[in-house]
Amino acid sequence: MNIAVITGASSGMGRDFVFAIDKEFTLDEIWVIARREERLLELQKDCRAKIRPIALDLAVSESHEIYKGLLEEHKPEIQVLINNAGFGLFGEFSQLDLDKQLNLIDLNVKGLTAMSHISLPYMPAGSHLLNLASNSSWQPVPYINVYGSSKAYVMNFSRALEMELKKRKIHVMAIAPHWIKTEFFDRAVHDDTIKYYDRFYTSQQVVNKAMKDLRKRKSVSIMGFPIRMQVRLVKLLPVRWVMGIWCKQQGK
């Protein structure tokens, strides 16, 4: 049984990835994972492949064991794994709720790592593993501190894993989008700490670019020429300069 596995599939980029993968690949099933099962069930009407909704909170270790059990039971071949689940928190580190920040790490870092490790025994040569990083992966980001740090982990993890899996011919790609107007902001923003947003892209734009880069087997997917130039510049400038510019933009 050929399948794709997509986490955070109930809305935003995860939902758009479900439709893109269904169109791009011939699959028996797409396993869609998120906390809101009713949202997952809605996906079937727009997909060719059978949708298997799996209601899990990947920030919780018990969910990883449930997923592992499903793989052991069905023994599928995973053609595509997209680790999209994650959330952000904007604000001053010392003022943000500690439990929420630890939950962010559990999902963005531990959940993604667990899903990758558990899935790899079922991924054949020619398969794809896509991890959602961020444009905040490239440098420290004050006031988005823990979120940006979690995405720096995702970027470094993905690029190192790509080298490790070359011998198995498994393609690994990190997706590093800029600002995207999705439900992400409903959870991330709770005050006016972050005031300046230079440009937004749509979820569909980012997913379309990621699919093009998947076909080219790129290691990193970045939507938008201005953002690619920004990333190059950030790599050249001293880190304190970059943080200073960011803080000035936010009125700090």
Q: Tell me the pTM.
A: 0.92
- What's residue 77's pLDDT? 98
User: Phi first, then psi: what are they for 93, rounded to 5°?
Assistant: -50, -45
Core vs surface per residue 98-130: b (16+ CB within 10 A) or e = eeebebbbbbbbbbbbbbbebbbebbeeebbbb
67/56 Cα distance (integer angstroms)? 9
97-140: per-residue pLDDT in tens? 999 999 999 999 999 999 999 999 999 999 999 999 999 999 99
- What's residue 246's pLDDT? 87
Other CB atoms closer than 10 Å to residue 87's CB: what's the count?
18
- What's residue 194's pLDDT? 76
Strand-pair partners of 2: 77
- Of the chain, the percentage scoring pLDDT greater than 70 comes to 95
Assign 3-class secondary structure to the chain.
CEEEEEECCCCHHHHHHHHHHHHHCCCCEEEEEECCHHHHHHHHHHCCCEEEEEECCCCCHHHHHHHHHHHHHHCCEEEEEEECCCCCCCCCCCCCCHHHHHHHHHHHHHHHHHHHHHHHHHCCCCCEEEEECCHHHCCCCCCCHHHHHHHHHHHHHHHHHHHHHHHHCCEEEEECCCEECCCHHHHHCCCCCCCCCCCEECHHHHHHHHHHHHHCCCCEECCCHHHHHHHHHHHHCCHHHHHHHHHHHCCC
Per-residue pLDDT band at 176 (split at 50, 70, 90): very high
**CA-to-CA separations, 16 to 11, 110, 124, 165, 169, in angstroms, rounded:** 8, 24, 24, 27, 26
- What's residue 42's pLDDT? 93
48's tokens: 């060719």
Q: What interhelical angle do 12-24 and 203-215 show, nearest 10?
A: 40
- What's residue 188's pLDDT? 56
19-35: per-residue pLDDT in tens? 999 999 999 999 999 99
- What's residue 107's pLDDT? 97
**CA-to-CA separations, 96 to 93, 178, 248, in angstroms, rounded:** 5, 23, 21
Cβ contact 23:99 at 8 Å = no
Whether 156 has a pLDDT exceeding 70, the answer reads yes
Instruction: With CA atoms as reference, report the closest residue to 117 among 169, 74, 167, 172.
Output: 172
- Average pLDDT on 40-65 reads 96
- Average pLDDT on 80-87 reads 96
Whether 184 has a pLDDT exceeding 70, the answer reads no
187-222: per-residue pLDDT in tens? 656 667 777 577 788 999 999 999 999 999 999 999
